[in-house]
Structure 1
């Protein structure tokens, strides 16, 4: 639904984009060789990671949407699951984006309090999107169950696993 797409943009791109601007500099960045000036705005790493993450997120959303429908959910509930899966993929990807190479498990959780609190605010907004009757009416959403939440979290957490593996391989090179 168009309103749901706008919602995704609001809760995943608004506060997090600004918060990432306050991310402390990476360790060892001055020891890296300079980027090739011919490389353009997007580095090879950024292009490769964008493709990997884009395919993973697309597959995860379609999987959760189809899974909801196959388990008897209405189209509105399946859309709610899909939107929430997208939102959580983006939350976890915001954490991944804090460093190109360093594991997110080595970066202190509150080293960027702006990002931490923006994600909490977005999470609360997403709960309102799902459970507040006025938002349900505006966005055509339906409440989701604990089983739905479990699927959403398991699938969307896969982006952390995949990017951590990618970062590990790149560090080893």
Structure 2
């Protein structure tokens, strides 16, 4: 007695060799297996199963030339089915997110978060109290994430001077914050 894998593989290989009736039988039997596979994975979306089965069958048909008879059929079909299922989920999520009504979210305008903008403004004011060498060194390395070498190249300072400027600038900023706090 053949397993489903062996039977489907035999039918597909015969179909690829030109036997049209075996190929139709392969697609017919594969349909039943795909339907079961999908109903287990998306039981709450029963209406979409048939559409998805048809998409997978079409993908199998279009990719039939890529199947290698020395490889397991199950893995090949599963890869195609899984890809189509993930594509279905992505499309569905995208479509559903577009239909989420705004009026059901009264709390969307309840809070405002200006903190990042306020923090950037405050840091900018604080840096304004520093000499250019310190301000630019801190700006490039600590805020923009450049390396010390890159900051040295931009400012025309040596790498050691950039490091010293950062250290002295941060120390001056800490002292200034303590004075105003």
Q: Does TM-score exceed 0.5, indicating one fold?
A: no
TM-score w.r.t. the length of structure 1 is 0.26
Task: Identify which of structures 1 and 2 has the higher relative contact order when contacts are C-alpha pairs closer than 8 Å and 6+ apart.
Answer: 1
